[in-house]
Homo-oligomer: A and B are copies of this chain.
Amino acid sequence: MAMTRTAKELAESIGAKLEGDAAAEIRGVAAPERAGPHDLIYVEAAKHAERAAASAALCVVADDGTALGGKTVLRHKQPKLAFAKAAALLLERAPIASGVHQTAIVAPLTRLSPGVSIGPYAVIGEDVHIGSGTQIGAHAVIGAGCWIGDNCRIHPRVTLYAGVRTGHRVEIHSGAVIGADGFGYAFGEGRYWKFPQAGIVEIGDDVEIGANTTIDRGSLDDTRVGDGVKLDNLVQIGHNCHIGAHTVMASQVGFSGSCVIGKNVVVGGQAGFGEHCRLEDGAVIGGQSGVLGGKTIRSGQTVWGTPARSLDKFKEQFVWQARLPELAERIKKLEEKAAR
């Protein structure tokens, strides 16, 4: 799955400055401890230079300040970023499907663009569009009227309910369910009545969605996931949520319905959000935080805890909480003094 490149070719592709053997052949990537001579490695900071020096790898991505005698070095200000770009060139992504498998069931009006691959037993509904170069894994179920962009990677056992739309280069991992009914009811006469879940889900370009993550369709509005958004595994996105571009959410995050999430927001694992929350651009939400329904987290603010408050406030309160026994003791002493 690896494609050989020379150090020179790589340096040019990733915008790095080359030091050393321009013809060095690189065939893969690895951690320093596991690398062979032809694997590319990287070091983030000078303090990790020893790990790189001790590695069998001949070629290292590093920043300017890291001395690496004897290695061919690709110098870049952001070594991890440069390494990630190099890896994308060196490692071929494992194919999800090749060709349209004879057991795949493709409804008559479906429009398959050139270069589409569909795995065994996948089921593609009526009037679906699948863009060129897109791969659909085994057992994926694509509902009627879905529109899937170019060069997407839909892994095995993904469900898209009817009417889901995705941009290009979208990757959806196994078990994810996109477009199921949102959780909406009206209570009356002693029972819950299903509120209509008639909207769709619209997903931008370059989005990655983790395994077993669920994104509900809109009720009377649509659910929207912006360009470049990355969602980890087991995340829940409620109906009508709008997620801005380049926002990332770690595993097991849960959003209730109708939340508006800005661009470049970072949400830590297991954080939870009530209905109609608003996270402005660049907000950072600590892991396990809870944001009450209707609340707004301001642009650039970092919050933590349940209910979520500013990180500084949380830390200060936490310190005092730990000192509560001491405070209580001091009150007791004051009372004793006062009684005398």
Could you list which residues of chain A lie within 8 angstroms of chain B, going by C-beta atoms?
Answer: 28-31, 34, 78, 80-81, 83-85, 87-88, 91, 94, 103, 105, 119-121, 123, 137-139, 141, 143-144, 155-157, 159, 161-162, 171, 173-175, 177, 180-181, 183, 185-196, 198, 206, 208, 210-212, 214, 216, 220-221, 228, 230, 232-234, 236, 238, 246, 248, 250-252, 254, 256, 269-270, 272, 274, 287-288, 290, 305-307, 309, 313, 316-318, 320-325, 327-328, 330-331, 334-335, 337-338
Contact = CB atoms under 8 A, between A and B. Distances in A.
A338 B337 contact: yes
B236 A234 contact: yes
A210 B183 contact: yes
Sort A-B residue pairs by CB-CB distance and give the 9 closest, nearest first.
A320-B324, A31-B220, A81-B188, A87-B196, A177-B211, A159-B174, A180-B211, A81-B186, A84-B186
Contact of A228 (B85, B183, B192, B220): B192
A269 B254 contact: yes
B185 A248 contact: yes
Nearest to A264: B190
A159 B180 contact: no
